[in-house]
Amino acid sequence: MPATIDPGIIAKIEDLRKTLHHHNYRYYVLDDPEISDSEYDRLMQELIRLETTYPDLVSPDSPSARVGAPPLAKFDQIAHTLPMLSLDNGFADEDILEFDKRVQRYLNLQSEILYTAEPKMDGVAVELVYEDGKLLAASTRGDGVTGELITANVKTIGAVPILMRADRSSVVPPLLEVRGEVYIGIEAFKNWNAERMDQDLPPFANPRNAAAGSLRQLDSKITASRPLEIFFYGVGVVEDFVFESHWKLLQALKKWGFRINPLIRPRISIKDVLKCHRELSEQRHQLPYDIDGMVVKVDSLALQQQLGATTRSPRWAIAYKFQAIQETTVLEKIEIQVGRTGVLTPVAHLKPVNVAGVTVSRATLHNEDEIEKKDVRIGDTVLVQRAGDVIPEVVKVILSKRTGAEKKFSMPDRCPVCRTAVARIEGEAATRCINSSCSAQVKERIKHFASKGAFDIDGMGAKLVDQLVEKGLLTSFADLFKLDKETLAGLERMGDKSGENLIHAIEASKKISFARFLYALGIRHAGEHVAVLLADQFESLEDLASCSQQDLTDIDGVGPVVAESIANYFQQEKNLGTIQSILDSGAQIVFEAKRKTAKLDGKTFVLTGTLDGMTRRQAKDMITAAGGKVSGSVSRNTDFVVAGDSPGSKLKRAKDLGLAVIDEAGLLEMLGG
Ligand code: IVH
Ligand 1 atom nearest 234 alpha carbon: 1
Query: Which pairing describes strands 88-90 and 175-184: parallel, antiparallel, or unpaired?
Result: unpaired
| φ, ψ for residue 449, nearest 5 deg | -60, -40
Dist. CA 203 → ligand 1 center (Å): 26
| φ, ψ for residue 641, nearest 5 deg | -105, 125
**Tens-digit pLDDT profile for residues 113-137:** 999 999 999 999 999 999 999 999 9
Q: For the CA atoms of the chain, what is the radius of gyration?
A: 28
Res. 501: pLDDT tops 80: yes
Res. 390: pLDDT tops 70: no
Between CA 607 and CA 639 the distance in angstroms is 11
Domain 89-321 belongs to what topology?
D-amino Acid Aminotransferase; Chain A, domain 1 (3.30.470)
Give residue 3's pLDDT band: very low, low, confident or very high (50, 70, 90): low
The residue to mutate among 181, 290, 313, having the most atoms of ligand 1 within 8 angstroms of its beta carbon, is: 181
| φ, ψ for residue 348, nearest 5 deg | -85, 130
pLDDT value of position 599: 75
pLDDT value of position 567: 95
CATH H-level superfamily of 7-65: Helix hairpin bin (1.10.287.610)
Res. 557: pLDDT tops 80: no
Closest CA to 530 of 548, 513, 518: 518
**Tens-digit pLDDT profile for residues 64-119:** 888 778 888 899 999 999 999 999 999 889 999 999 999 999 999 999 999 999 99
Pocket of ligand 1, beta carbon within 6 A:
85-87, 118, 120-121, 125, 141, 181, 233-234, 295, 314, 317, 319
pLDDT value of position 168: 67
Dist. CA 183 → ligand 1 center (Å): 13
DSSP string, 479-526: GGGG--HHHHHTSTT--HHHHHHHHHHHHHHTEEEHHHHHHHTT-TT-
Q: What Cα–Cα distance (Å) separates residue 640 from each residue in 40, 608, 623?
A: 19, 11, 11
Res. 1: pLDDT tops 50: no
Torsion sign (Cα): 268, 272, 273, 277: negative
Q: Beta-carbon neighbour count of residue 615 at 10 Å?
A: 12
Dist. CA 523 → ligand 1 center (Å): 43
Give residue 351's pLDDT band: very low, low, confident or very high (50, 70, 90): very high
pLDDT value of position 317: 98
**Tens-digit pLDDT profile for residues 222-259:** 999 999 999 999 999 999 999 999 999 999 999 999 99
Dist. CA 181 → ligand 1 center (Å): 7
CATH H-level superfamily of 326-423: Nucleic acid-binding proteins (2.40.50.140)
Q: What Cα–Cα distance (Å) separates residue 363 from each residue in 229, 252, 392, 394?
A: 28, 45, 5, 6
**Tens-digit pLDDT profile for residues 424-479:** 877 778 899 999 999 999 999 999 999 988 999 999 999 999 999 999 999 998 89
Dist. CA 313 → ligand 1 center (Å): 10
Contact assessment for residue 385 and residue 406, using Cβ atoms and an 8 Å cutoff? no
Contact assessment for residue 644 and residue 610, using Cβ atoms and an 8 Å cutoff? yes
Residue ranges of domains in the chain: 7-65, 89-321, 326-423, 439-590, 604-670
Q: What Cα–Cα distance (Å) separates residue 143 from each residue in 154, 162, 489?
A: 19, 26, 65
SS3 per residue for 525-550: CCCHHHHHHHHHHCCCHHHHHCCCHH
Amino acid, single-letter form, for residue 185: G
**Exactly one of 12, 101, 120, 373 is catalytic; which is it?**
120
CB neighbours of 524 closer than 8 A, spacing ≥ 6?
A: 198, 199, 200, 341, 565, 569
Between CA 66 and CA 159 the distance in angstroms is 10
| φ, ψ for residue 237, nearest 5 deg | -85, 140
Dist. CA 166 → ligand 1 center (Å): 27
pLDDT value of position 381: 96
Res. 403: pLDDT tops 90: yes
Closest CA to 263 of 287, 237, 299: 287
The residue to mutate among 82, 84, 86, 87, having the most atoms of ligand 1 within 8 angstroms of its beta carbon, is: 87
Helix (H), strand (E) at residue 188: helix 186-198
Between CA 534 and CA 79 the distance in angstroms is 47
Ligand 1 atom nearest 89 alpha carbon: 7
Query: Which pairing describes strands 175-184 and 228-238: parallel, antiparallel, or unpaired?
Result: antiparallel
Contact assessment for residue 332 and residue 351, using Cβ atoms and an 8 Å cutoff? yes
3-state helix, strand, coil in the chain (%, to 5): 40, 25, 40
Dist. CA 88 → ligand 1 center (Å): 10
The alpha carbon of 673 is separated from its chain's Cα centroid by a whole number of angstroms, namely 34
The residue to mutate among 88, 118, 120, 183, having the most atoms of ligand 1 within 8 angstroms of its beta carbon, is: 120
Closest CA to 234 of 322, 120, 321, 135: 120
Contact assessment for residue 87 and residue 242, using Cβ atoms and an 8 Å cutoff? no
- 447 is known as an active-site residue: no
Helix axes 528-537, 186-198, angle to 10 degrees: 80
Task: Classify residue 427 as left (phi > 0), alpha (psi -120 to 50) or beta.
Answer: left
Closest CA to 179 of 232, 241, 257: 232
The CATH number of the structural domain formed by 604-670 is: 3.40.50.10190
Report the residue count for the chain. 673
Torsion sign (Cα): 330, 332, 333, 337: negative
Between CA 221 and CA 64 the distance in angstroms is 12
Contact assessment for residue 205 and residue 393, using Cβ atoms and an 8 Å cutoff? yes
- 128 by Cβ neighbours in 10 Å (0-12 / 13-18 / 19+) ranks as buried
3 state DSSP class of 104: helix
Ligand 1 atom nearest 309 alpha carbon: 2
The CATH number of the structural domain formed by 439-590 is: 1.10.150.20
The residue to mutate among 295, 301, 307, 313, having the most atoms of ligand 1 within 8 angstroms of its beta carbon, is: 295
pTM: 0.60
Average pLDDT of the chain to the nearest whole number: 90
DSSP state of 71: P
Domains 89-321 and 326-423 share a fold: no
